[in-house]
Amino acid sequence: MQESFNSGTCLVPTEQLDKPIYRIFPRERFLQMVQEKCLALVSPSMWDDPFEIVDRAIKVEWEEDGAHRSHIIQGLPSVFAQSWSMAEESDALLRAYSKVRRGGFSTKFA
């Protein structure tokens, strides 16, 4: 599913909002989440996946009057996030969190 902001569609279509999502947790973080009843957002720079890079600048592209336009927005505030998947078994997530594979597990949220 490849959708863009420019087409007037959303990243997760309304008909998929009730589908489960999955996340791989280190055991300690999962237990912390359950005990504190709170999910933590972490800077992507601390993630193990080198492709999950969010910098302080981002290139924005759009179509206007039939012409392709782009602009770089700089000085963005710090970003904190989590990584989730709509795929129950994601090879990419398992490889990205290979350390977790030895001490963590995948969790389904519905």
Q: What is the DSSP letter of 42?
A: B
Q: Where are the domains of the chain?
A: 17-109
Q: Over the stretch 10-55, which tens digit does the pLDDT of each residue have?
A: 556 777 788 888 887 777 888 999 999 998 888 877 776 655 566 6
Q: Over the stretch 75-92, which tens digit does the pLDDT of each residue have?
A: 777 778 787 777 777 666
Contact call for residues 95 and 8 (beta carbons, < 8 A): no
pTM above 0.85, yes or no: no
Contact call for residues 46 and 82 (beta carbons, < 8 A): no
d(CA 2, CA 87): 15
Contact call for residues 96 and 82 (beta carbons, < 8 A): no
